Amino acid sequence: MIQIIVFLPLLAAIIAGLGNKALGNVPAKIVTTGALFISCALSWPIFISFLMGGHEEGFVVPVMTWLNSDSFNAMWELRVDALTAVMLVVITSVSALVHLYSWGYMDEDPDQPRFFAYLSLFTFAMLMLVTANNLLQMFFGWEGVGLASYLLIGFWFRKPSANAAAIKAFVVNRVGDLGFMMGIFATYLVFDTISIPEILAAAPNMAGSTIGFLGYRFETMTVICLLLFIGAMGKSAQLGLHTWLPDAMEGPTPVSALIHAATMVTAGVFMVCRLSPMFEVSETALHVVTYVGAATCFFAATVGTTQQDIKKVIAYSTCSQLGYMFFAAGVGAYGAAMFHLFTHAFFKALLFLGAGSVIHAMHHEQDMRYYGGLRRHIPITFWTMMAGTLAITGVGIPGTLFGFAGFFSKDSILESAFAAGGPGTFAFFLGVTAALLTSFYSWRLVFLTFYGQPRWAGSEHIQHAVHDTHGHGHDDHAHDAPADEGPTHDDHAHDARGHHAPVTGTAGYHPHESPWVMLLPLVVLTVGAVFAGFAFHHFFIDAEGGEHFWHASTLFFDEHLMHASHEVPLWVKWSPFAVMATGLLVAWLAYIKNTDWPAKFTAQFYVLYQFLLNKWYFDELYNAVFVKPAFAIGRFFWKAGDEGTIDRFGPNGLAALVVAGGKVTRRLQSGYVYSYALVMLLGLAAAITWAITR
């Protein structure tokens, strides 16, 4: 069964990719979507069986011998345990729904077989990653999702901004992947194996040992875990290696939902949890994970408050939620981290696909300042996004079983962080602050989009994305007008190729609800956003149920921490609820009650606003520190090295020498007989002279 789950998406990708336009749009969509629904249908029984205790331990299904060289032996095996089962249902469920949703969203695109082939290829690579039983196979899946991400972000390759975003994602992830590769090399050097079970079994014995690194000696497990975590930082967009994630919104919205909300960006969290026994050996590594996760959580939440592009608001929200997962892992609450990964997949995919439905209704406009009053025109999209917002903001009543998905998982993380103490206390307070900001920007998105007066009807200001001659053209550009001051008198929109196109008047234009193939996935995901927390919290984070469930996996489960997290002070339990309500109230006052507040705030705190709007100037800093020097070095070697030295003294120099010699010999070819006779005479005289003087 597991072989079908993993390899069926690959088979579908090959058929759709090679068949392409010869196969046709509908057959390609049927093959890929059908394959994913089959994989999804087979994944859920595996997950339920682990929940019900059907498997006391995980099992391994061999596929083939991959590499076998002396002592190095890498088998291609599919590992299935509780941790794998969670990821199987997340990946296949979201991917299947995204495939179905894309039937409507990508209906006008001429390259649909290629798009669906890329989606299925990504799903296969992600399934390879989560079923890996050794580090080499995990790295294969790790790089596979990176490749698929690059292809999908740059799917509209005629759009310069999409190409730039794809390259940026590729380069930034290579930085993280270098750390991941070095971590794998170091692991093999120390343990003489890449088998994950063997490594985890031997890891506790390495406590206190040291290893030489960069001329110094450090704790072995600290070095290995920090190198592995660098890989996780790149893939999961943690602070420092996060800059690719917002730009990745240049890809089609279904891509954002599949890769950058529910699956690929959680690969780093999964890897840390899979290797949690290794991280438990190094207190330093756990502290680093905690601090980085907490800082990312707070940073992304602050930036999300100022973004105007509906997809970028949700993108920074993803970055922030990943921070929660990492600092949960850093304090030892791996079960809570995986629970939030599980619930987050449903409500974040719902928010992204809901945003896609809004964009579809608004003719691919993404700037929220050009929305307003849409709840009456797209009611199903409105109510599903309301469910997603209630889930991400953690609406629920502490001490009861009433709550949306995010309430159970995020509150568990915050309580575990407080109970852990030390760096966990720092993470708790940053996490609570981020929860306040999350509530504010999430409700800001809802109010700007669905409430208030329409800022699009009969106005020349709406920016229509103009399709180019090949049918590509979802415009992802937001204009840099002051925040929340409403639409500006901008005379142009950007077309898909980055050129300017006149804005079309919209008199008589009315938003429309999306087709059923887009709405059905929203409804299904709404069920997950509402009930996933209530239905599964016992198995993930309760001391008794969690220990029983996670026993059938490699995940380290701290029963004492789980007990302590349930016994934290009452004010700790109610803090997330208080900040959630506060964020909602402030957003309502600013965007419903007193709509002039945002403009006054940005005018009063202009420097702070610009700092947040420009994302803490990370892009500008990296451009100054890395990009410009790299271009300068490249330009120097190009001009001074390639052209000035190699070309000058190589092909260009030899060519110049031939030309100069040709000029000299050309002068000897006068065409006069007496000139040739003179040359012959001089040559004969020189030969006789040489012979006489020998």
| Nearest alpha-carbon partner for 95 in 118, 61, 129 | 118
On the question of pLDDT at 498 being above 80, the answer is no
On the question of pLDDT at 675 being above 60, the answer is yes
6: tokens are 């993993």
Residue type at 239 in one-letter notation: L
**pLDDT tier at 570, thresholds 50, 70, 90:** very high
**pLDDT tier at 492, thresholds 50, 70, 90:** very low
Task: Return the pLDDT at 503.
Answer: 35
On the question of pLDDT at 93 being above 80, the answer is yes
Task: Return the pLDDT at 44.
Answer: 95
CA distance 284 to 423: 11
Q: Which of 16-20, 89-93, 547-551, 567-571 has the lowest mean pLDDT?
A: 547-551
Between the two ends of the chain, the Cα-to-Cα distance in Å is 94
pLDDT, tens digit, for every residue of 366-411? Answer: 899 999 889 999 999 999 999 999 999 999 999 888 999 999 999 9
């009861």: which residue's tokens?
Answer: 400
Task: Return the pLDDT at 510.
Answer: 78
Q: Which of 62-71, 448-457, 465-474, 509-518 has the lowest mean pLDDT?
A: 465-474
pLDDT, tens digit, for every residue of 124-177? Answer: 999 999 999 999 999 999 999 999 999 999 998 888 888 999 999 999 999 999
Backbone φ and ψ of 583, nearest 5°: -60, -40
Mean pLDDT for the chain overall: 86
∠ CA 90-94-99 to the nearest 5 degrees?
150
Task: Return the pLDDT at 690.
Answer: 85
pLDDT, tens digit, for every residue of 184-218? Answer: 999 999 998 999 999 999 999 998 898 887 788 89
Q: Are 475 and 496 in contact (CB under 8 A)?
A: yes
What is the DSSP track for 287-353? HHHHHHHHHHHHHHHHHHTT--BHHHHHHHHHHHHHHHHHHHHHTT-HHHHHHHHHHHHHHHHHHHH
**pLDDT tier at 509, thresholds 50, 70, 90:** low
Pairwise pLDDT comparison (659 vs 479), residue with the higher score: 659
Question: Which H/E stretch holds residue 225?
Answer: helix 220-235
On the question of pLDDT at 544 being above 70, the answer is yes
Q: Averaged over 269-274, what is the pLDDT? A: 95
Q: Averaged over 10-16, what is the pLDDT? A: 95
Q: Are 116 and 28 in contact (CB under 8 A)?
A: yes
């619930």: which residue's tokens?
Answer: 343
CA distance 387 to 390: 5
**pLDDT tier at 326, thresholds 50, 70, 90:** very high
**pLDDT tier at 291, thresholds 50, 70, 90:** very high
Task: Return the pLDDT at 553.
Answer: 87
Q: What percent of the chain has pLDDT over 90?
A: 60
Q: Which of 47-61, 117-131, 585-599 has the lowest mean pLDDT?
A: 47-61
CA distance 563 to 193: 36
pLDDT, tens digit, for every residue of 201-260? Answer: 999 999 889 888 778 889 999 999 999 999 999 999 899 999 998 888 888 989 888 887
**pLDDT tier at 117, thresholds 50, 70, 90:** very high
| Nearest alpha-carbon partner for 325 in 300, 350, 356 | 300
Q: Are 356 and 254 in contact (CB under 8 A)?
A: yes
Q: Averaged over 538-545, what is the pLDDT? A: 82
Q: What percent of the chain has pLDDT over 70?
A: 92
CA distance 4 to 37: 12
CB-based contacts of 547, cutoff 8 Å, min separation 6 = 557, 559, 562
CA distance 313 to 448: 12
pLDDT, tens digit, for every residue of 451-486? Answer: 988 887 644 444 443 333 333 434 333 333 334 444
| Nearest alpha-carbon partner for 137 in 77, 190, 95, 178 | 77
In a 3-state reduction of DSSP, which class is residue 354?
helix
Q: Are 62 and 74 in contact (CB under 8 A)?
A: no
Task: Return the pLDDT at 468.
Answer: 36
Task: Return the pLDDT at 669.
Answer: 73
pLDDT, tens digit, for every residue of 548-558? Answer: 888 888 889 88
Q: Hey, how many other C-beta atoms are within 10 angstroms of the C-beta on 686?
A: 10
Question: Which H/E stretch holds residue 392?
Answer: helix 379-392
Question: Which H/E stretch holds residue 501?
Answer: strand 500-502
Q: Are 153 and 162 in contact (CB under 8 A)?
A: yes
Q: Are 330 and 423 in contact (CB under 8 A)?
A: yes
